[in-house]
Amino acid sequence: MFPFSFEWIWDLSHMIFMGGLWYSLTILGLGMTYCILKTVIDTMHGKGGHNH
């Protein structure tokens, strides 16, 4: 899973497979970070509540 685990080989299979994994995880992580940060900012600006 990580380049420091001893099974890791810098070959095409690892790069494609793990590349796909880390790419997906990055999108999910960045997406959620964006949502939470924006929510914090929106809430601080007094958005939300009963009136959209």
The site string for other proteins over 1-40 (x = CB under 8 A, - otherwise) reads x---x-x-----xx--xx-xx--xx-xx--xx-xxx-xxx
Provide the minimum distance between the beta carbon of 39 and other proteins in the complex, in angstroms, as a whole number. 4
User: How far apart (Å, rounded) are the C-alpha atoms in residues 41 and 9?
Assistant: 43
Retrieve residue 14's tokens: 């690892």
DSSP state of 35: H
Question: Are the C-beta atoms of 8 and 14 separated by less than 8 Å?
Answer: yes
Binding-site ranges for other proteins (CB under 8 A)? 1, 5, 7, 13-14, 17-18, 20-21, 24-25, 27-28, 31-32, 34-36, 38-40, 42-43, 46-50, 52
